[in-house]
Every structure is written in C-alpha cells, then in structure tokens.
Amino acid sequence: MRVLEGNVVANGTKVGIVASRFNEFIVSKLIGGAQDALIRHGVNDDDITLAWVPGAFEIPLTAQKMAETGNYDAVICLGAVIKGATTHYDYVCAEVSKGVAAVGLKTEIPVIFGVVTTDNIEQAIERAGTKAGNKGYDAACTAIEMVNLIQNMK
Ligand SMILES: Nc1c(NC[C@H](O)[C@H](O)[C@H](O)CO)[nH]c(=O)[nH]c1=O
Ligand SMILES: CC(=O)[C@@H](O)COP(=O)(O)O
C-alpha cells in the first residue's frame, strides 16, 4: 500500500501569515507561536511574511491576495474572535471560516485556519500559549505538514 503523508520538516518553505489586529493581545501570542514552530521546523525567518488586517473578517481577502502572488507555499491565518453581547460573533466566525477554506480550494495551496473562536477571553488566553497550548504553533505545524504532503503527491 502506498501511503501519502507529510513530514513536519521545512525545505525552503515560504510562508505567509495573515493576522488580525482585533484582540491583538491574543493574536500576538499566536504569531509568536507560529514563528517559533516555523523556525524550529526549518523555515528561514526571511521566508516568513506577516500581513496585518483590522479584524478576522478581513482575513480571507488578504489570504487570497497573498496566495495569488505565488510567493508562498502556504498561508497561515491567525485571529481571535471572542463572543460579545450580540450576534456579531456568529457572522464574523462564519465568514472567516468559510472564507479561509474557500481561499485554499481556489488557490490550491494550504491556507490554514488558526483563528481561535471562543466564548470568552479566558478560553482565548488558554489557547494562546497557556494551558491549551498555542494554536498559532499548531497552525504552523499543520502548514508545514500540508506543504510536504502536497509535494509528495506530485
Ligand atoms: N469582534 C471581533 C472582530 N470584529 C471585527 C470584524 O472582524 C471586522 O474587522 C469588522 O466587522 C469590519 O469588517 N474581529 C475579530 O477579529 N475578533 C473579534 O472578536
Ligand atoms: C466577535 C465580536 O465582534 C465581538 O467583539 C462583538 O461584541 P458585541 O457583540 O458585544 O458587539
């Protein structure tokens, strides 16, 4: 049986990161986690490009623009959507999740969903480098694995 699988080893991998400034306290920790994972798995710091957007809603368009340049093997989307008093949360979460998935399918490179969507600030903190790990780190490992997997499929 031929098994297709990606290693978590970077080989000249070029990565774009789109990060939303809303809840920057959390998102900056996700960026730190992603950068740490990329570098520790062999990505050169010079091969990482970070684009800031105002909020998670703006992530998909920016991820698409980045992916369409052809300069990146993967794009990692980082953000923090935290539930407030109204239904705004649901609209932002729906659009960013659908949008990120659509960009991956359209551009045919891995576009990774590293956006935390939480009921409260405590849950977000737990996922930004404390008791539930760092979702930015996890997203970066996923990006490297997916780049490898797709290379192995050729
Ligand atoms: N409430 C959160 C937002 N809201 C802002 C939107 O993402 C968007 O920037 C605005 O509606 C303009 O289009 N964004 C987050 O990333 N996180 C939130 O908790
Ligand atoms: C997820 C959000 O957009 C959130 O911050 C909005 O809060 P609110 O529903 O209280 O306006």
For the segment 88-103, what is each residue's pLDDT rounded down to a tens digit? 999 999 999 999 999 9
Mean pLDDT of 70-92: 98
Q: Decide whether any atom of ligand 2 lies within 6 Å of the 116 Cβ.
A: no
Place of tokens 């998935």: 101
What would the two tokens of residue 127 be?
A: 């996922």
CA 152 to ligand 1 centroid distance, Å: 37
Q: Is 41 tagged catalytic?
A: no
ipTM surpassing 0.90: yes
- Cβ-proximal residues to 98 (8 Å cutoff; 6+ apart), any chain: 60
Q: Decide whether any atom of ligand 1 lies within 6 Å of the 124 Cβ.
A: no
Among the bound ligands, name the one nearest to the CA of residue 87.
2
Q: How confident is the model at residue 71 (pLDDT cuts 50, 70, 90)?
A: very high
pTM of the model: 0.98
Residue of minimum CA distance from atom 7 in ligand 2: 84
Instruction: Tell me the C-alpha to C-alpha distance, in Å, between residue 50 and each of 16, 31, 154.
Output: 6, 9, 28
- In this structure, the number of other CB atoms found within 10 A of the CB of residue 95 comes to 15
